[in-house]
Amino acid sequence: MTPQLQQAIRLLQLPVLDLNAQIQDALEENIMLEMEDLPDAPRTSAETTAEVETIRAEDTWQAQSAERIQDGGWNGEGRPITEFADESGQTLREHLLWQLEMEHFSPRQLVIGEAIVDSINDDGYLTADLDEIAASLDRESEITAAEIRETLEKVQRLDPVGVGARSISECIILQLQQLDASTPGLPLAIELAESHLDLIASRDYGELRRALRTSDENLHDALALVKSCNPKPGLAVSPAATEYVIPDVFVRKVDNRWQVEISPTGVPRLSVNQQYARLLRGNGDHAVLRSQLQEARWLIRSLEIRNETLMKVATCIVTRQTEFLEHGDESMKPMVLRDVADEIGMHESTISRVTTNKYMHTPRGVFEFKYFFSSHLSTTDGEDRSSTSVRAKIRKLIGAENPAKPLSDSKIAKMLAEEGISVARRTVAKYRESMNIVSSSDRRKRPA
């Protein structure tokens, strides 16, 4: 994983509004960065691979897309939109527990993992030591200290990168360890994170050079790597309450095909200030400016990777969930992180990061990317159903029930079995409660 990819993945976790704020901070702090006047018209998933003739055939759509830049977006009904209420309310704990279900944790590791997650604060740090976690577990299960350490290591590989660390040093090292081993300055960056964060904080670069006995160039590479890490990774998932979200992608049907475009709203294009860059050519001085130039180039490339990755994941989701877009929740296909990861050639943890706080605007509404992922449920005809599809069927059955004789969870399970869907009564109850639908006895008491 290159530094640019690591930074791009971190940027992927940010909603558009937070991304804009970070870009604005970078523009204010880095003299080598400048903002271009206007973003280009959004690119569609068809355009990214089409020949020139196909691109020309899309001119009409591009013109409409350019108009939507000024209008603030497209809502599927010809009305401009800019913002949408964010009612997800997802916490870091919920995000981590979701990953425990999606990743390859054994039943024992799931139990340990839940205890570890319960001890992680909003910043993403583990606040309990391993002995305290062991004491909180069922003694009869005879879970060993080695199992707890092994599970913690797996949790530390979840999204966001650096979660589960026990110190800021470990947090940064966890992030650095995801970089490619050949990354310039990586060994020195890890050494800085292990032993010299105090000197970095005080900007005592002279003492750093003396302590590490290294060149200015190597030190600048290492410092750039350390500074690219997030000291509070948990806040990328559960930041302060956000009232509105801006969709990251728009999905619409064109010529009987579903197409995806990156939202251009509010995301500026950045470039390197060439006037300052020319001053550095052939000049060995200005170490700070050289460091800023490298950081500027990384940020620009990271934003490019962010859009490319976002487009790949969104296009894959749309391709797999066409039936949902056509017919609604009951047609949602089962899909887990590995399905998308295998198709686009990325790691499951990367897909998890891409789906965090990312929103897709469709004719059926605005959905978080995570909404399209659900577990597999077996059926008698051999075709798996998604848990989202089953929830929709449960909601439909309850909506059509006789108010005087509401359906019990057992009855719903039996009715689903008649459709070939094998679901236990307790699973029906869990799905019903997740939709905030009360039990049959409480529904019977309600006035018609």
pLDDT digits (tens, 9 = 90+) for 100-138: 888 778 888 988 999 999 899 988 999 888 888 888 887
- Percentage with pLDDT > 70 across the chain: 81
State whether residue 117 is helix, strand or coil: helix
Q: Do the beta carbons of residue 417 and residue 423 sit within 8 Å? A: yes
Instruction: Tell me the three state secondary structure of residue 328.
Output: coil
Predicted local distance difference test score (pLDDT) of residue 37: 58
Alpha carbons 28 and 294: distance in angstroms, whole number: 16
Mean pLDDT along residues 332-347: 89
Mean pLDDT lowest for which of 38-42, 62-66, 93-97, 282-286?
62-66
Distance CA(38)–CA(431), nearest Å, equals 46
Average pLDDT, the chain: 79
Residue 83's pLDDT band (boundaries 50, 70, 90)? Answer: very low
Which of residues 444 and 417 earns the better pLDDT score? 417
- Separation between Cα atoms, residue 97 and residue 103, nearest integer Å: 10
Span 352-362, pLDDT tens digits: 888 888 889 99
The DSSP code for 37 is S
187-199 mean pLDDT: 88
pLDDT above 60 for 2: yes
Q: Give me the pLDDT at residue 199, please.
A: 81
Confidence at residue 221, expressed as pLDDT on a 0 to 100 scale? 86
Q: Residue 282 — pLDDT band, cuts 50, 70, 90?
A: low
Which bin fits 162, alpha (ψ -120 to 50), beta or left (φ > 0)?
left
**350: how many CB neighbours lie within 10 A of its CB?**
23
- The reply to whether the predicted model has a pTM over 0.85 is no
Q: What gap in Å lies between CA 84 and CA 73, rounded to an integer?
A: 11
Topology of the domain comprising 376-445: Arc Repressor Mutant, subunit A (1.10.10)
> Which tokens belong to 6?
């690591």
Where does the pLDDT of residue 207 fall: very low under 50, low under 70, confident under 90, or very high at 90 and above?
confident
Please choose, from the candidates 274, 294, 283, the residue with its C-alpha nearest in 3D space to the C-alpha of residue 223.
294
Please report where in the chains the tokens 């200030």 appear, as a residue: 273
Question: The tokens of 53 are what?
Answer: 């003739």
With b meaning 16 or more CB within 10 Å and e meaning fewer, what string describes 242-272?
eeebbbbbbbbeeeeebbbbbbbbbbbbbeb
Residue 62: the pLDDT is: 38
CA distance 162 to 229: 9
Find where tokens 């008649």 sit.
Answer: 418
Q: What local confidence, expressed as pLDDT, does residue 152 receive?
A: 95
Report residue 124: phi and psi, to 5°: 105, 10
Region(s) of the chain under CATH 1.10.10.60: 376-445
Cβ contact 284:274 at 8 Å: no
Mean pLDDT of 293-304: 88
Q: What's the one-letter identity of residue 26?
A: A
Task: Determine contact, residues 176/185, Cβ cutoff 8 Å.
Answer: no
- Burial (CB < 10 A; 0-12, 13-18, 19+), residue 351, is buried
Would you say the C-alpha torsion 193, 197, 201, 207 has a positive or negative sign? Answer: negative
Residue 155 has, within 13 A of its CA and on its CB side, a CA count of 31
Q: Above 50 in pLDDT, residue 47?
A: no
